Amino acid sequence: MRTTTTSLAGVLSAAALFLAACGGGEGAEASGGSGSGSEGGEGRALRLALNQTEQHPSYLALDSFGQRLSEATDDRWSIEVFANETLGAQAEALQLVSSGAVDMAIVSGTQLENLDEDFVVFNLPTVFDSVEQQMSVVNDPDVVGDLYSSLESSENITVVGGFTQGTRSVYTTDGPVETPEDLAGKKMRVQESDLHLSMMEAMGGSPTPLAFGEVYTALQSGVIDGAENNEVSYFTQKHHEVAPFYSRTNHLVGLDYLIINTGVLSEMSEEDRAAFDEEWTAAHEEHTQLWTEATEQAIADAEAAGATFSEVDTDAFNAVLEPLVDEFLTTDSQRALYDAARGN
């Protein structure tokens, strides 16, 4: 099942930004395919689209991933991370990786759900109880091997692995939330996903899908009354300035994926591919370590800036979220993935 969420105009404007940012795309010749070293000193810099700031753990871990990859392959391969949606919002970045205009991107699981319904499983509120459980599942080839190659023939996209988004909660412009009733009538931004639209409805709010980069202005102008995200994005995107009430619904542990154009990946020699995989493992491990620290820091910084963090009626939220599992797991392969993730 494929739903196109991106307009051609959006892709073209992102591509224009990309060309402006990269000087017309020159210097993109691959020299890694032969595995024979960097003839003429020309290595291949992989352009990676990210929608976070340069302070975010994902930027930091990807930046050091690139540096280590460069060292490990004698500069045949390196990574240039374009932060802050410079290459477009995630829906555009996904299309650009598919077409090969951009090599890699970090996209939320919600984006991949729009290409293959099996990805819905890891976007469900109840699938992961902790970051540790999530990371062990989403980087285990026995569980995710088929899933991660499932977009190769249709989209030319390979999923490399996952970064945690940590635990997501709601935040609002005008007072804390304690129960689902408190979200009644509130326009709440959600990611562009059918599951998350239903999730927000179940939680009591009126879901409003928007790209990540549009959330600050939408909160500020009153187009929306709230959103949901982890503490790190809440602070690094400055959402606390315009929505200072963060209420700990902890409704899901979110997941980002590193995706790469399949053709580009196949240009790597065996040796370089092994280095890529090894350094990726180090990158997601570093990311998970940075995550805990960044979360504590984000909470302290947001509180110092006047935001409040409050507890909710967790049982009441769990009760409305539970039915989403049966509603959204409709196939045997989805069930099998869900059971594997839950250790059933």
Closest residue by Cα to residue 48 from 78, 20, 9: 78
User: Of 212 and 280, which CB lies nearer to ligand GCU in the complex structure?
Assistant: 212
**117 DSSP assignment:** G
> In the structure encoding, which two tokens stand for residue 250, read together?
């902890």
Residue 114 or 233 with smaller CB distance to ligand GCU? 233
Q: Looking at 86, 98, 229, 250, which residue binds ligand GCU (CB under 6 A)?
A: 229
Contact between residue 188 and residue 228 where contact means Cβ atoms under 8 Å apart:
yes
Residue (89 or 275) nearer to ligand GCU, CB: 89
The least CB distance from residue 313 to ligand GCU, in Å, is 24
> Total binding residues for ligand GCU by CB under 6 A?
10
Q: Can residue 86 be called a binding residue for ligand GCU (CB under 6 A)?
A: no
Specify the DSSP element, H or E, that contains 200: helix 194-202
Q: Which listed residue (5, 6, 31, 51) binds ligand GCU by CB under 6 A?
A: 51
Q: What contacts 174, CB < 8 A, 6 or more positions away?
A: 225, 245
Q: Considering beta carbons, is residue 155 or 256 the nearer one to ligand GCU?
A: 256
Q: Closest approach of Cβ 273 to ligand GCU, in Å?
A: 25
Reported in sequence order, the residue ranges of 191-328 that DSSP labels E, i.e. its strands, are 206-209, 226-229, 245-261, 308-311
**Dihedral sign, Cα of residue 128, residue 129, residue 130, residue 132:** negative
Query: Which is nearer to ligand GCU, 208 or 229 (by Cβ)?
Result: 229
For residue 44, which amino acid is it?
Answer: R
Residue 46 or 170 with smaller CB distance to ligand GCU: 170
Sites for ligand GCU among residues 167-196 (CB under 6 A): 191
Strand partners, 246: 171, 309
Which residue of 5, 165, 193, 261 would you call a contact of ligand GCU, by CB under 6 A?
165
Instruction: Give Cβ neighbours of residue 117 (< 8 Å, ≥ 6 apart).
Output: 1, 330, 331, 334
Q: Which is nearer to ligand GCU, 90 or 139 (CB)?
A: 90
Q: Compute the distance between CA of residue 197 and CA of residue 158 in angstroms, rounded to an integer.
A: 26
Please answer whether residues 320 and 202 qualify as being in contact, where contact means their C-beta atoms are separated by less than 8 angstroms. Answer: yes
Element spanning 202, H or E: helix 194-202
Residues with Cβ < 8 Å from 206, sequence gap 6 or more? 185, 186, 187, 188, 200
Q: Which of 256, 264, 265, 329 binds ligand GCU (CB under 6 A)?
A: 256
Decide if residue 233 touches ligand GCU (CB under 6 A): yes
Residue 196 has which token pair? 């998350």
Looking at the Cβ atoms of 229 and 295, the one nearer to ligand GCU is 229
**Interface characters, 102-141, with ligand GCU (x: CB under 6 A):** ------x---------------------------------
Q: Residue 321: beta bridge partners?
A: none
- In the complex, least distance from residue 212 CB atom to ligand GCU, rounded to whole angstroms: 4
Closest CA to 80 of 53, 52, 46: 46
Options 59, 122, 212, 276; binder of ligand GCU; rule CB under 6 A: 212
What's the min distance (Å) between Cβ of 257 and ligand GCU? 9
Position among 6, 31, 86, 90 found at the interface with ligand GCU (CB under 6 A): 90
Q: Of the two residues 205 and 254, which places its CB atom closer to ligand GCU in the complex? A: 254
Which residues of the chain form contacts with ligand GCU (CB under 6 A)? 51, 90, 108, 165, 191, 212, 229, 233, 254, 256
